[in-house]
Amino acid sequence: MSEEQQQYWPIFTENDQTKTFWNKKCLNLGQSTIVYQQPMHRISWKSNKPTEYEFLLNEEGVLFYKQNNKVKGYVQLNEDISLKLIDLKISNKKTDAVKVIRIKRTKDIFVYIWNQENQCTFQFLKYLSQFCFVQNLDQLYTLQDVIGKGGFSKVYTLTPNIRLPNQPFSYAGKVYNKNELLLKKDLKKFYHFIRSECYVLKRINFPYVLKLCEIIQLDELLILVTEYIKGGSLYQYLKDRKRLTEIESTQILLKLALGLQQVHNLGYVHRDIKLENVLIDKDQLKLIDFGFAEKICRDKLLNGQGTAGYIAPEVFMKQPYQEVGDVFSLGVIFYSMLSGKAPFRSNTYDALLKLNKECLIDFSELRFPNVSQKTMFLLRGMLQKQPENRINLQDLLYQLNTYQIFSPSQHVISTQSIVEGSVGISFNHLQSKNTLKSFYQHSQNSFTENTSQVSQQKPNKLLKDRRYKSQSMDKKGMLLKSSSFKPSLKNIYQIKIEQSDDNISITDYELPIPLESLRFLQTSYQTLNCQKFI
């Protein structure tokens, strides 16, 4: 390898700047949760004498040890510290070599830790590997079948050679080959791409984002060990079904948006959201492939990577790629699910890029049969060409959180069960007496200008009659076009504004209105907003 190539392989190496292994300064453990605690033996790089201590690992990756119930030292684990399971012959012992974990911070600074029970040692290694990289494969996993291929890697199924209690039977392994990576023209860029992918996935533990279990760095291979999802991609799922219902499409959109929120909260953007990068299996859904993930930069465009047909238009205009860039790609997925067709289609790559850049999208009713106006409003907001006009992720989640969709059997399906109180206003808040009262009163004031003008010319009695009658009804009294009672998303937004006026107390939250009354409100809301979205 050239000197330049040596800088970027291996991707992970011991580079934790320190002169000692343990930090002896006072450690304030605070309220951190301890995830592992076990008596272990230790040999340091300075001494060959085994000593037993109580080792503890907290959820932030701080490893520390105690003696006589007093903390003696600690180390903050990270991706620049390596772990290796080795056979070590303990000096002055007639016993066979034991399995030990070598924790290495630099070339010369390391410790050996083990338990007399091998299973405890393996279990400790699994916990430590959540924060460091591992230098073993054969002792831990066996590579099985190839289940996927990407532009820079292959994905295999992995089976654990030593399976611990409650451990899955299978994992997925994304494998990068040294020789293939070294052929890349911009090796430095791919080095940072892989580091960013691992950084993001190591720090996110969320139901709708693929979980990275371990990083295995070998001489010739880099393997990212993740959870294994048996189903296929959302692309194949949609291809088999032609198109998805509005209900299912919205539920998938919400899960993806919640997963994406975790990425953005970390200060990163995904940059390659597409149907192929979503895994789906029954009720499981995972956002995957963070190979293009990068830190959010609001000053300039760092790079133009992406998949044609999903690229946010601002990339073509050399504008900074921010959170709304991911929202655009999410909108392309939403469009494809609802219509069964991609918004940009062509037989050639260059023509596809041109269509993507022009961003002229067909939103006609023929393309979207049986899709409500409210959903179309959301879709248009996600696919706005100008990023400043595009709906942001926070507003998208806010709207989805209050979404009510009716299945063909008229059963209400609420996205609240998916969100589980993580974003937006709660369903319980909508049920509180004072909030409902404000919502209703505000709805009663939602007249059209024409209605208001006519009302001023009518006697009070006629005004009162008009107020509670539909403006256009069929012979059975069913609503056709519009009504003077218009609960809408605009009204719901007003709830937060009016909270202070309502003086809502804890007691109000604990006294929900009868379900049948709330059902009337939901039905009115859905029926009217299917005709006109405000």
Are 397 and 424 within 8 A, CB to CB? yes
Helix (H) or strand (E) holding 241: helix 234-241
Helix (H) or strand (E) holding 114: strand 110-114
Q: How far is CA 498 from the centre of its chain?
A: 32
Number of Cβ atoms within 10 Å of the Cβ of 345: 10
CA-CA distance, 239 to 444, in Å (whole number)? 45
Strand ranges, E, within 1-60: 34-44, 51-58
Cα separation values, 34 from 44, 55, 387, 446, Å: 24, 10, 44, 54
Reported residue count of the chain is 534
Strand ranges, E, within 265-370: 268-269, 278-281, 284-287, 294-295
Strand ranges, E, within 183-338: 212-217, 221-227, 268-269, 278-281, 284-287, 294-295
CA-CA distance, 43 to 45, in Å (whole number)? 7
CA-CA distance, 512 to 522, in Å (whole number)? 15
Structure tokens at 322: 């921010």
CA-CA distance, 400 to 173, in Å (whole number)? 34
Q: What are phi and psi of 517, to 5 degrees?
A: -70, -40
Amino acid at the residue 152:
F
Structure tokens at 393: 């992720």
State yes or no: 202 annotated in a binding site: no
Q: What is the residue whose two structure tokens read 């539920």?
A: 251
- Extract the annotated binding site for ATP: 174
Q: What residues are designated binding site?
A: 174
